[in-house]
Structure formats: structure tokens, C-alpha cells
Amino acid sequence: MAERNIEGPSARATRLLRALRREPVDCTPVWLMRQAGRYLPEYNQSRAAAGDFLALCQSPDRACEVTLQPLRRFDLDAAILFSDILTIPDAMGLGLRFAAGEGPWFERPVRDEADVAHLAVPDPEVELRYVCDAVRLIRRELGGRVPLIGFSGSPWTLACYMVEGRGSSDFRLIKTLRYRRPDLLHRILEVVTEAVIAYLNAQIAAGAQVVMIFDTWGGVLSDADFVACSQSYLARIVAAVADKTVPVVVFTKGGGLWLERLADTGAAAVGVDWTVDLAEARRRIGTRVALQGNLDPMALMGSADTVRQQVVATLERYDADPSLSPGLGHVFNLGHGLSQFTPPDSVAVLVETVHRYSAEIRRRRASSSSLS
């Protein structure tokens, strides 16, 4: 596929920001979680040149290059900082490592009182300076063509990795801590929350125009524990974002039961995964926050016609209620991140269909209104 030219101003410049403020836009903006990643051959070349994943993240120049790669291919409405959610615990001294085929793990997980006592909030402009430098560089290279999204993991999700030491199927260690030593668990969450606040504010100061909080493991919690261990800390983070003009997006994978509670955090937008019906989500909370989502990432494994059909169905579900303004407050995304096996051509079809069909819905609805 020929690369797109991302030079020069375009209608994309404000589309995402307006949608997040629930203002009218010409068509639905679209960006994709993990839009810079292993499905792109140019990304794999950059990663090989860097030597490993951490080296790629920790080089502002390389992180900038990888962030811009999908924008050269696709007419996306935002760039998202190339980094990892585990940068904060790594900066706390836990020793982040990536093993091929095994995912991330920590050399020094947090397991007892002594481990918790050693936790401290890292200075984003010292221990995480490489992230802030990457944000500054990306923002400069974008030149206002599209907004830049910064991000962090949620306190609960980061705590899961910090205590378990790696990904988990049952979260036995952190849930044992929750029931045996809830005081230690909440001490971890307190420190991590302060770290996330400092980190996101530093990204915003460096140039991020939107920030997103990935609550990847929030869906493994009980109802009561979601409130106590995730929602309450998310709300504190949103309230502590210093620049109130910067929209905050919160996303809990498996969080469909708690859409109202996620909206109650004060975030500008709530991300929804593919298990949630968008018409129902809009009925429940979409009149007070924007919604982001929610195509099943595996839909991109289908044919081009299938991808188009699935995108159209997602847009139609958002606009199922004819009494609501078409597309108002919708940011098209996947229900989770792109798979490394996604055909790049499927992404091109997705992006083109979102823009074309969402604009068609608006034209159709406007014509219908003028005739009535």
C-alpha cells in the first residue's frame, strides 16, 4: 500500500476534540487502540532496528517514528503516543522485562510490607523523561494536523502487574492481598494514583491534547471492589488533571456493567468494548459523555465486505435512536487493541468506511429533517 502524505492542514485537526466535547462534526472521527504495532511491517522494522521493545519505547526519536507510521498509511483522526502502560512501575524500580512470546514481567514484584514501603512516585521529568520528550517531539512533528493522545494504565491495572509480576489468568496474588491485607492493596493504589496524576499532567504539559486511562483489568473485579479499587481512583485522577480543557477518556475492558459509574468519574468520554451494544450505551450515558468504540478487533480478520458491513452496523447502532443527533459524541474505535495478525488493508477499509458512511448518515438525517 502506498504511504499517505500527512503534510498540510486538514479537516482532521479538530474532529476528535469536537467529538469528545459532544459538538457536531462533519463525520465520525476514528483512531484505533494499538494503531502503531506489530501488524505493520514498518513497525517491525523499527523494533528490529531498536533491538527490543523497551529500547523502542525509551528512544524519543524511535517512539515518534512509530507513532507517525499509521498516520502515513491511514486517514486517522488522532495519533496516540507510542509507549507502554508499565512505564510507571518500571520507573518505581520494579525492573520491567519483555520476554519474546511471554509478555512483560517484573524482576521485583510487590508482595509484602517492605516492598510497599519502598514505593515512591517517580518524577515524570526525571525517571520518565523519555516519555515526555517523545510527546514533545511527536507534537512538533504533527504540526497540528491531528491531536495527540497521551495515556496511562489505571491504578488497579498497574497494581495487578506489580503484585502478580506479570499477566494473570486468575489474579490470585492481588486478590489474596485484597482479602488478607486490604490496607496494603490500598496503599499501593494510593501511590500509583499519585504517580498516574503526575504522569498524565506531565504528558499534557509536554503537548498531549487528550489523555486516556486504560483500566484493562477492571473487569475482573466484583461490583463492590470495582467501586473501591478502580472507579474511586479513576475519579481522583480525572479531578486532578490540571488542564481542564484536556478531555480524559476512561476505558474498562469488561466494564459494560458499570457504564454509569464510569461516566460518574467526570471523564469526557467512556470507552466501551465489543460486548456492549452501542445503542444501549448511548441510552444509558451517551447524553452526558462521549462514547468511544466498539468494533470487535477480530472483525478485521474478515473480507473487505465483511469489514464494511461490521463498521456500518456499529455506526447504525450508535444512531439507532432517531431522536438523537446523528453521530454526536461518538469516537469510532475498536473494543480493544488491534491484533498483530490484522491485515493492514482491513484497517484502511475500516477508516474509509467510518468517514464515508458516518457522513452519509448525517446527510441523510439532515435531508429528512428539511423535508419534514
Q: Is 84 a catalytic residue?
A: yes
Strands 103-106 and 96-99: antiparallel
Q: Average model confidence (pLDDT) for the chain? A: 94
Quickly count: other Cβ atoms within 10 Å of residue 298's Cβ: 15
Give pLDDT tens digits for 289-335: 999 999 999 999 999 999 999 999 999 999 999 999 999 999 999 99
Q: Is 38 a catalytic residue?
A: yes
Q: Is 34 a catalytic residue?
A: yes
pLDDT at position 358 over 90: yes
Do residues 182 and 322 share a domain?
A: no
Do residues 235 and 139 share a domain?
A: yes
Catalytic hit among 4, 18, 21, 47: 47
Give pLDDT tens digits for 20-42: 999 999 999 999 999 999 999 99
- Final residue of a structural domain among 238, 271, 304: 271
Domain membership of residue 279 (yes or no) is: no
Q: Are 89 and 59 in contact (CB under 8 A)?
A: no
CATH number at residue 48: 3.20.20.210
Do residues 146 and 85 share a domain?
A: yes
Average pLDDT over residues 39-58: 96
Q: Bridge partners of 30?
A: 332
Q: Can you spell out the DSSP letters for 291-360?
A: EEEEE-GGGGGS-HHHHHHHHHHHHHHHT--TTSPTTTTEEEEESSPPPTT--HHHHHHHHHHHHHHHHH
Domain membership of residue 16 (yes or no) is: yes
Q: Provide the pLDDT confidence category of residue 101 given band limits of 50, 70 and 90.
A: low
Give pLDDT tens digits for 335-354: 999 999 999 999 999 999 99
Q: How many domains does the chain have?
A: 2
Domain membership of residue 18 (yes or no) is: yes
Catalytic hit among 77, 84, 215, 273: 84
- Final residue of a structural domain among 271, 297, 328: 271
Q: Provide the pLDDT confidence category of residue 199 given band limits of 50, 70 and 90.
A: very high
Give pLDDT tens digits for 130-181: 999 999 999 999 999 999 999 999 999 999 999 999 888 899 999 999 999 9
Catalytic hit among 12, 34, 236, 261: 34
Do residues 141 and 203 share a domain?
A: yes
Do residues 91 and 183 share a domain?
A: yes
Q: Cis peptide leading into 294, omega within 30 of 0? A: yes
Give pLDDT tens digits for 263-275: 999 999 999 999 9
Domain membership of residue 276 (yes or no) is: no
Domain membership of residue 283 (yes or no) is: no
Do residues 164 and 305 share a domain?
A: no
Domain membership of residue 2 (yes or no) is: no
Domain membership of residue 195 (yes or no) is: yes
Q: Are 231 and 265 in contact (CB under 8 A)?
A: yes
Element (H, E) at 249: strand 248-252
Catalytic hit among 39, 43, 161, 199: 161
* Structure confidence at residue 7 (pLDDT): 42
Give pLDDT tens digits for 66-75: 999 999 999 9
Do residues 202 and 307 share a domain?
A: no
Q: Are 264 and 252 in contact (CB under 8 A)?
A: no
How far is the CA of 36 from the CAs of 44, 145, 206, 272, 344, in angstroms?
10, 17, 20, 20, 11
Average pLDDT over residues 190-204: 98
* pTM score of the predicted model: 0.95
Do residues 330 and 369 share a domain?
A: yes
Do residues 107 and 236 share a domain?
A: yes
Sequence-distant (6+) residues with CB within 8 A of 114 are none
Do residues 118 and 161 share a domain?
A: yes
- 227: amino acid identity, one letter: V
Domain membership of residue 277 (yes or no) is: no
Do residues 232 and 362 share a domain?
A: no
C-alpha torsion 199→200→206→209, nearest 10? 170
Q: Is 47 a catalytic residue?
A: yes
Structural domain range at position 186:
43-73+78-271
Helices (H) and strands (E) in the chain, counts: 16, 9
| Spatial distance between the Cα atoms of 64 and 84, rounded to a whole number of angstroms | 14
Do residues 98 and 196 share a domain?
A: yes
* Percent of the chain at pLDDT exceeding 90: 91
Catalytic hit among 21, 38, 72, 283: 38
| Spatial distance between the Cα atoms of 332 and 314, rounded to a whole number of angstroms | 9
pLDDT at position 100 over 90: no
